[in-house]
Every structure is written in structure tokens, then in C-alpha cells.
Amino acid sequence: MDTTQQILNFFGWWELVTCSFAFLGLLSIWYHLGKKKGDVGQVWLALSVFCWAISGAIDIYYSHVDYTPQNIISVNGWRSILSLLNSLFILLSLPWFKHKPAWLKPMIETKTWYIIIGLPFLFSLLPTVSRMITGSSESLVSELDVYFAVFTLIVLVFILWESFTKRGLYLLGYLSVIFVLVTLVAQLYKITDEVQTLLLISAIFKSLLIMIFFSLALSWVKDLAEVLKINASDIYLSLDKRKQSNGRYQNLISITGIPETDSKSFTITNTYYDLLQKFILAKKTSPTGGWLEIKPKSTSRNIDYPIKDYNEIKRLTISLLDGLYGKGLWDKERHELPFKEALFEFSKEKGRQIRIKLPIDHISSEV
């Protein structure tokens, strides 16, 4: 084993162990937090790092074989394929980022994003595979992964900057820019024949990007740990009962002004729709009052109370949260309690009286 193969073997083991550990670490964060939120962005980032681990295993294997022209083409081909997959997984993770630059957001959050990244990936992958099969050494074909990686880095640096600065982590934002520039230099070195320098810079940029990914994951965890700030004055509520072609009615609800949600409509059952209508009617007929009384747990009075028990309010709140965030994709402390506090208020004088808290001009309804 010559010096180059020894360096390749050492680098391969470092890459395999380090990137496998990083892959499992990122995947663990997703398993404990992101899985419940339906957020697969962490999974794509973890898979992008895992591509480097596989690349390390390939380097270990080829460090023990003769460096024939065909073996050189094979190892470079596999590196190109894994580099392409690494870039693809990073780009697939971007729609899941909470903070995106305003000029990039419309493009990333549409279905055309998958076409934008998918076609260049295929156009780069197919010639690379063809080169491995035919043994061609055309330089343009062999470095197509570099162009795809450069595109990924340009988009990634804007996303990272936005993600960190929007969270007030400006130092991490500046560091992410520096790290991406180092990564860009490493990509450009692929075009040269400086194998040892390339391996050194590759080790540096992979370490740095792994640290950036973990910093990003931890800042995301910090976001999840903070209780949402929801203000009644920011919320707009719209109710619309629509008749369908089959003669049945659909209860459409639209709520805007809630953090971490987009403006969208969803349906709720007749029970919860009618309960909301009671709140709204009381608010419109008596803007300064609008209180509804909850039936006491133990009473023998023959009175038709508007609300039978406290659980009705809880079930209504859960139904609205399921529509806003998705069933089971919200937390009690982080979402339910601040949302309920912003939507309803209890009378300080009579604890069993409750009314909707939103300004009357923020409510659109048929009643």
C-alpha cells in the first residue's frame, strides 16, 4: 500500500465513523422531535451526511486494491454519485426549513421545486453512470457533480443565513457563510489532481458542515421548546357552511394569524361548528358581554345551558388545532394552552362564564 492509498484508507475510516455517528445523531433528533411534528427535513439532512459515510466505506475498499485506470474511474464515479445524492438530499430538506429568504420561498415551497432539482440531478447522474460503465474519462462528464454541488451551496448559504439570523443567532449565520465558502473551495478542488489536498479540505468541510447541521438542529429544538406567542388581536376567524352536490353541508373554518401555520381552510363537525356559532352570536348581540355559561357539574336546575361541560371547550380547541397543524402534530404546552388563551377568555367574576376573545370585526360568519 503506497502513501496515497494509506491516506485514502485513513480518510475513509475517519469519514465512515464520523459521518455514521453524525447520521445517527441527526436521525435521533428527528425521531424524538421531528417525527411527531411530521417534519422530515431532519431525515433528508441525516441522509445527506450518510452519503459521506458510504463514500468513506468505498474509499476504504479501494485503498486495498491496485490503482488501475478502471479502478480510478470506478472510485471517482462512486464519489460523484454519492456527491450528487448528498446535494439532492440537502435540497430536498429545504422546503421543511421554517425560515427562508423571501425571494426563494415561493420557488422552494411549490411542487415545481422537485422538478427544478430533479432534472439537473438526473442529467448529472446518467452521464456519470455511463462513464463508469464505458470507462470514459471525459473531464466535463466526470465533474458534473461539482456543478450540482455548487448550485446546492449557493441556495444553502442563503437558507442557513436566514435560519440563524431570524432566530437571533447572527454569529452562527456568519460562521455558516464561512463554512459554505470552504466547502465551495473543496468542490472546486475536485477538478484538480491534488488528491492529498483534496482529502484534507474534504475532511475540513465535512466536519464544519456536520457542526452547522447540528447547530441548525439544536436551534430548531430551541424553537420547539419556546411557547408560541399568540395574540387575539392577530387572529382572523371565518366560518362558512357550504352545500355540496350530494345535498350535505360542509363546515369550513379558516383561521389566520396563528404562528407556524399558513392560511388554509379545514372542516369541522356540526357539533363544533354550532358551538362556535353560539360564541359568535353572543359576541355580536352583546359586544361588551357575549358570555356563555358552562353547566355546573352538580345541579338540579332545569336550565338549558349553552355549554354542557368544560370538555366541550377542550374538544373544540383540539379540533381547531388538528385542522391548523395536523392531527397529533402539536403540543399541549407549546400550542394548545396559548391558542386556547388567545381564543377564549373566562369571566373573572364568574368562573363558569366564557366568551370568544377575538375582536368582532375579525370574525366572518353567517350568523
pLDDT of residue 135: 65
Residue 4 has pLDDT above 80, yes or no: no
Q: State the Cα–Cα distance between residues 214 and 220, nearest whole angstrom.
A: 10
Q: Where are the beta strands (DSSP E) in the chain?
A: 236-243, 249-256, 264-267, 292-293, 344-346, 353-356, 363-364
What residues does each domain of the chain span? Answer: 3-225, 232-364
Distance of CA 244 to the CA centre of its chain: 35
Q: Span 5-24, mean pLDDT?
A: 88
- Following DSSP, what letter does each residue of 289-306 receive, concatenated? ---EEBPPSS-------S
Kindly report, residue by residue over 19-45, the tens digit of the pLDDT: 999 999 988 888 877 676 677 888 999
Residues 6+ apart with CB under 8 A from 194: none
Residue 53 has pLDDT above 90, yes or no: yes
What are the beta bridge partners of residue 241?
251
Cell numbers that stand for 269 in this block: 363537525
Measuring CA to CA, how many Å separate 252 from each of 128, 240, 256?
51, 5, 13
Residue 137 has pLDDT above 80, yes or no: no
For residue 146, give the amino acid letter: V
Residue 138 has pLDDT above 60, yes or no: no
- Nearest alpha carbon to residue 318 among 308, 310, 328, 306: 328
Instruction: Give the neighbor-by-neighbor strand order of the sheet with 236-243.
Output: 264-267, 249-256, 236-243, 363-364
Cell numbers that stand for 86 in this block: 448528498
Averaging pLDDT over each range in 57-71, 132-146, 305-319, which range is the top one? 305-319
Residue 330 has pLDDT above 80, yes or no: no
Q: What is the CA radius of gyration of the chain?
A: 28
pLDDT of residue 47: 94
Residue 17 has pLDDT above 90, yes or no: yes
79 versus 366: the higher-pLDDT residue is 79
pLDDT of residue 1: 58
Q: Span 128-146, mean pLDDT?
A: 67
- Following DSSP, what letter does each residue of 97-114 receive, concatenated? -S---TTTHHHHTSTHHH
Q: State the Cα–Cα distance between residues 251 and 268, nearest whole angstrom.
A: 6
pLDDT of residue 325: 82
Cell numbers that stand for 291 in this block: 358570555
* DSSP 8-state assignment for residue 231: -
Q: Span 43-60, mean pLDDT?
A: 92
For residue 174, give the amino acid letter: Y
pLDDT band at 335 (very low <50, low <70, confident <90, very high): confident
Kindly report, residue by residue over 165-213, the tens digit of the pLDDT: 887 788 888 988 888 888 777 777 666 666 677 777 778 888 888 888 8
Phi and psi of 259, rounded to 5°?
-60, 145
Residue 124 has pLDDT above 60, yes or no: yes
* DSSP 8-state assignment for residue 182: H
Whole-model pTM: value is: 0.68
